[in-house]
Every structure is written in structure tokens, then in C-alpha cells.
């Protein structure tokens, strides 16, 4: 079972928790900041966050190893904003790659987003989204090729290859 960070939830100016996509149930669950920190302290994987320290206190930090560079925040009903504003991108979407399917050399990337949508993109479309400035966690662009990060499930045809890259 893998858990992938999709968004933060605020009530006014107050953080109330985070939403995650859970690969086993293929559903979304919410967790408080304390629950996530406790999981990370137990060395459980929560893709999108790592533990950091701030004044001798454990804090959540976006996981650059998973290419989690920005996070969408739900600040009201049907209202998304950004943790880090990006004036270079007008698109109000962030994607998290959770699985890669390789069928006869053609790769398809399963993604989730802050609106709890599951979508599939082919390699060219996902690369184009990244080039337009859309934050895409779970893959990195290396030498013009998409490379899956650790934690992204990979399948060859209908058979699972491995978890992680």
C-alpha cells in the first residue's frame, strides 16, 4: 500500500489536514499533520512529504526526491490555491503520478490530483504538461525522458514489475 499526497485542507487560515491517494483501495483519505509525522517517524512511506526540523520540532517538508515541488491547498468549497505561488504557470492543476503502465513499449501514466480525479496520460502529453509548468510529482524529466521516482508502481502489461524506480 502506498500513500501519495494530493493536497492540503484549510479552514480559513487554519490547516486542518492533508488528503492522500491510497493505492490499495484506490481511494482518498485525510490525515492530520500529527498522524503524518507519526507515520514518518515509524519509517512508513508517505510519498510527497519528508520530515524536517524547525527549532528542534519535527515539521513536514515537501519531498524533492519525489519531485513534489508545490502543493495545492483547498481553502474553501471548490477553491484551490497554491502553497508556493507560481506566476509562470496559469494552469490551476498539479498532478501526482502513482503508476506507470508499459504495454508493448507504450507508456501510460496514471495520475491523481487535488480534485480527487484519476486520469491517465501518455508520455508525450505528460511531458508537455511539465514543460508548461504544471507541477508533476512522481516523475522527473531526465535527458528529455520521464523517469519514475521511488514509490511509483510500475506494471508491464497486466503484470506488476516492482514498486519504485
Percentage of the chain lying above the pLDDT 70 cut: 93
pLDDT tops 90 at residue 159: no
Per-residue pLDDT, averaged over 111-123, amounts to 94
> So what's the pLDDT on residue 81?
84
Q: How far apart are CA 93 and CA 70, in angstroms?
A: 10
Distance in angstroms (rounded) separating the CA atoms of residues 86 and 18: 21
Residue 83, pLDDT > 60, answer yes
Q: Is the pLDDT of residue 164 over 80?
A: no
Give the sign of the dihedral formed by CA 26, CA 98, CA 20, CA 114: negative
Residues in contact with 8: Cβ distance below 8 Å, sequence separation at least 6, in sequence order = 15, 17, 18, 19, 71, 72, 73, 74, 83
What is the rounded average pLDDT for all residues in the chain?
89
Average pLDDT estimate for 110-139: 93
Reported as a pLDDT band with limits 50, 70 and 90, residue 42 is: very high
What pLDDT does residue 27 have? 94
State the burial class of residue 124 (Cβ atoms within 10 Å of its Cβ: 0-12, 13-18, 19+). exposed
Confidence at 91, pLDDT banded by 50, 70, 90: confident
Q: Does position 16 have pLDDT exceeding 70, yes or no? A: yes
Q: Percentage of residues in the chain with pLDDT exceeding 90?
A: 72
Q: Which pLDDT band, with edges at 50, 70 and 90, does 161 fall under?
A: very low
Grade residue 61 by pLDDT with cuts at 50, 70 and 90: very high
* Cα separation, 150 vs 50, whole angstroms: 13
∠ CA 135-8-119, rounded to 5°: 50
Average pLDDT (47-59) is 95
Amino acid at each position: 500500500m502506498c500513500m501519495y499526497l494530493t493536497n492540503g485542507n484549510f479552514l480559513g487560515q487554519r490547516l486542518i489536514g492533508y488528503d492522500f491517494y491510497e493505492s490499495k483501495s484506490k481511494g482518498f483519505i485525510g490525515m492530520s499533520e500529527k498522524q503524518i509525522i507519526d507515520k514518518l517517524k515509524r519509517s512508513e512511506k508517505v510519498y510527497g512529504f519528508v520530515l524536517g526540523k524547525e527549532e528542534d520540532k519535527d515539521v513536514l517538508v515537501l519531498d524533492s526526491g519525489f519531485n513534489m515541488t508545490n502543493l495545492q491547498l483547498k481553502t474553501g468549497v471548490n477553491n484551490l490555491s497554491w502553497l508556493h505561488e507560481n506566476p509562470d504557470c496559469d494552469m490551476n492543476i498539479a498532478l501526482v503520478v502513482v503508476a506507470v503502465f508499459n504495454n508493448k513499449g507504450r507508456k501510460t501514466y496514471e495520475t491523481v490530483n487535488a480534485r480527487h480525479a484519476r486520469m491517465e496520460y501518455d508520455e508525450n502529453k505528460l511531458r508537455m504538461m511539465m514543460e508548461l509548468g504544471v507541477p508533476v510529482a512522481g516523475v522527473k524529466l531526465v535527458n528529455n525522458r520521464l523517469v519514475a521516482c521511488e514509490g511509483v508502481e510500475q506494471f508491464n502489461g497486466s503484470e506488476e514489475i516492482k514498486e519504485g524506480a
